[in-house]
Amino acid sequence: MIRKIPVRLTTGTDRSYNIIIGNNILGNLGKALKALNCGTSVFIITDNNVARLYLKIIVSSLKKAGFADTGKIILPAGEERKNSGTFLRILNALYDFDRNQQKKIVILTLGGGVVGDLGGFVAASYRRGINYIQIPTTLLGLVDCGLGGKTGFNFRKAKNLIGAFWQPRLVYMDTLVIKTLPLRELRCGLAETIKYGVIKDKNLFSFLENNISGLLKRKSLLLNKIIPICIKIKAKITSADERDDKDIRIILNYGHTLGHALEAATNYRKFNHGEAVGIGMVLAAKLAVKLGLIQAKDAGRIESLIFAAGLPVSVKGIPENKILASMRRDKKFISGVNRFVLPAGIGRVVVTENIPESMIRKVLSERR
Ligand SMILES: NC(=O)c1ccc[n+]([C@@H]2O[C@H](COP(=O)([O-])OP(=O)(O)OC[C@H]3O[C@@H](n4cnc5c(N)ncnc54)[C@H](O)[C@@H]3O)[C@@H](O)[C@H]2O)c1
């Protein structure tokens, strides 16, 4: 079954777009692109792992649909490459593909969040903005980074510091891609599904608690149940706060303040994004207990679920000062005052400012 989920942006209906989701639908991508009529020359941005698995089917579906002019760049995979060097490399390849002919180019980002964020920002920047289609291939991409229009890359020690809001014209999701995901990446995607449970949906959270082992076995019945729930939560939130300036979208950052700090403090090499977010969610829950926002037993449920998903829950071996230095570069902080999204129960979060650094240090030291 193919489903269409609309993302209707309240502040810019012309930027609204659809998510198409189905199983084994990559071969129909060309047709869907044709129907969209948003470009005649197609430039694919992907990474080496994904290219090996899915590039052929995408290219042949484009050919079948009549797209004669296609180009591509295959990047080495990895968060540590989500940087200005890779951004420029893609721009150079795109410029060569364009050959100064002012082609009507549409970009396809085929891959996980690294490819999606970088490729989306290339689309936002090239000739002041061209069309792009997101084709997420990780669970994390399907439930989170494939939609919402946040694009960009890491700059020095600051996660996602350079970027833009640039909405895709379509998000094309084939859940079959989950079959080939390494287990570690599956766990990372589950971290974001747990996030949705904590921030908005206690029933989803209980469902995850009851079914985590089946989800780790990739049971499609279970995955097909949770993926649309997560997409709808993200679609609703990002529709209402496209540019993250209305204090609505911020709740998607639960676990991300210390999560991003952990990624940056370890040069984007030690943790995958979902793993860092998992630890960040545990740490934020502990802060919430100390602030009296959540009962210890609910914070315990959050930690247990993250642990059951096979995600790390410790910051052992990472110097506290490094984590705090990276944390201070968080984009949510205003004039140096920290801001955290903290759970106030399962299914509800609050934004809390100015948490004493001594308390953050205490929570970090208890996680060693
Ligand atoms: N824009 C947003 O709203 C948003 C939201 C959340 C996260 N992000 C960003 O997303 C990134 C994390 O994304 P990610 O977890 O997808 O990581 P990723 O893009 O690094 O992909 C993870 C790994 O899985 C491989 N892979 C991808 N699809 C595969 C498949 N189907 N089969 C086998 N291997 C596959 C990739 O080659 C890579 O090695 C971070 O940079 C994060 O900041 C962005």
Strands 69-75 and 41-47: parallel
Assess whether 137 and 97 both reside in one domain: yes
* Closest C-alpha to 116, from 144, 92, 85: 144
Atom of ligand 1 nearest to the CA of 152: 1
Separation CA 139–CA 192 (nearest Å): 9
Separation CA 63–CA 356 (nearest Å): 58
Residue nearest ligand 1's atom 4 by CA: 145
| CATH number of the domain within which 50 lies | 3.40.50.1970
Assess whether 210 and 328 both reside in one domain: yes
139 alpha carbon – ligand 1 mean position (Å): 8
H or E element: which one contains 328? none
What average pLDDT does the structure give for the chain?
96
Assess whether 264 and 301 both reside in one domain: yes
Q: Which residues contact 7 (CB under 8 A, 6 or more apart)?
A: 16, 17, 18, 19, 147, 171, 235, 238, 239
Cβ–Cβ under 8 Å, residues 77 and 113: no
Place of tokens 């004669």: 68
Assess whether 291 and 313 both reside in one domain: yes
3 alpha carbon – ligand 1 mean position (Å): 23
Residue 100, pLDDT score: 79
pLDDT per position as a tens digit, 177-189: 999 999 999 999 9
Residue 157, pLDDT score: 84
Q: Which residues contact 225 (CB under 8 A, 6 or more apart)?
A: 207
Structural domains in the chain (count): 2
Place of tokens 């992907």: 46
Q: How many residues does the chain have?
A: 368
Residue 101, pLDDT score: 83
Separation CA 74–CA 338 (nearest Å): 38
Assess whether 187 and 124 both reside in one domain: no
Going by pLDDT thresholds of 50, 70 and 90, the confidence category of residue 331 is confident
- Mean pLDDT for 213-241 is 97
Residue nearest ligand 1's atom 25 by CA: 49
Assess whether 22 and 46 both reside in one domain: yes
Assess whether 87 and 222 both reside in one domain: no
Pocket test for ligand 1, best of 23, 117, 237, 262 (most atoms within 8 A of CB): 117
Assess whether 206 and 350 both reside in one domain: yes
116 alpha carbon – ligand 1 mean position (Å): 8
Separation CA 238–CA 257 (nearest Å): 19
16 alpha carbon – ligand 1 mean position (Å): 24
Domain boundary among 150, 165, 180: 180
117 alpha carbon – ligand 1 mean position (Å): 9
Share of the chain above pLDDT 70, in %: 100
Give one DSSP letter per residue of 192-226, joined into a string.
Answer: HHHHHHHHH-HHHHHHHHHHHHHHHTT-HHHHHHH
Going by pLDDT thresholds of 50, 70 and 90, the confidence category of residue 363 is very high
Assess whether 52 and 192 both reside in one domain: no
Cβ–Cβ under 8 Å, residues 141 and 151: no
Residue 145, pLDDT score: 95
Share of the chain above pLDDT 90, in %: 94
Going by pLDDT thresholds of 50, 70 and 90, the confidence category of residue 154 is very high
Residue 61, pLDDT score: 98
Cβ–Cβ under 8 Å, residues 85 and 154: no
236 alpha carbon – ligand 1 mean position (Å): 22
Assess whether 72 and 51 both reside in one domain: yes
Domain boundary among 180, 213, 228: 180
- Mean pLDDT for 28-46 is 97
Assess whether 70 and 218 both reside in one domain: no
Instruction: Report the SS3 class of residue 241.
Output: coil
| CATH number of the domain within which 243 lies | 1.20.1090.10
37 alpha carbon – ligand 1 mean position (Å): 28
pLDDT per position as a tens digit, 272-327: 999 999 999 999 999 999 999 999 999 999 999 999 999 999 999 999 999 999 99
User: Looking at residue 305, what DSSP letter applies?
Assistant: H
Going by pLDDT thresholds of 50, 70 and 90, the confidence category of residue 14 is confident
124 alpha carbon – ligand 1 mean position (Å): 19
Residue nearest ligand 1's atom 41 by CA: 114
Atom of ligand 1 nearest to the CA of 148: 3
Pocket residues: Cβ below 6 A from ligand 1: 47, 49-50, 53, 77, 79, 82, 111-115, 117, 137-138, 140-141, 144-145, 148, 150, 160, 177, 180-182, 185, 188, 272-274
Residue nearest ligand 1's atom 3 by CA: 145
Residue 102, pLDDT score: 86
Separation CA 89–CA 2 (nearest Å): 35
Residue 109, pLDDT score: 98
Atom of ligand 1 nearest to the CA of 114: 19
Domain boundary among 148, 180, 212: 180
Residue 214, pLDDT score: 98
Task: Say yes or no to pLDDT of 13 above 80.
Answer: no
Give one DSSP letter per residue of 74-141, joined into a string.
Answer: EEPPSGGG-SHHHHHHHHHHHHHHHTTS---EEEEEEESHHHHHHHHHHHHHGGG--EEEEEE-SHHI
113 alpha carbon – ligand 1 mean position (Å): 4
Residue type, position 213, single letter: S
Going by pLDDT thresholds of 50, 70 and 90, the confidence category of residue 258 is very high
pLDDT per position as a tens digit, 49-106: 999 999 999 999 999 999 999 999 999 999 999 999 999 999 999 999 999 788 999 9
Residue 181, pLDDT score: 98
Place of tokens 């129907």: 35
Assess whether 171 and 197 both reside in one domain: no
Separation CA 153–CA 89 (nearest Å): 13
pTM over 0.85: yes
Could you give the maximum distance between any two Cα atoms of the chain, in Å? 62
Residue nearest ligand 1's atom 21 by CA: 112
- Mean pLDDT for 29-42 is 97
Place of tokens 């998607």: 252
* Closest C-alpha to 136, from 194, 178, 166: 178
Residue nearest ligand 1's atom 9 by CA: 113
- Mean pLDDT for 206-226 is 98
Q: Which residues contact 322 (CB under 8 A, 6 or more apart)?
A: 265
Atom of ligand 1 nearest to the CA of 139: 16
What does the block give as tokens for 234? Answer: 């993200």
Residue 146: domain span:
3-180
* Closest C-alpha to 216, from 189, 187, 192: 187
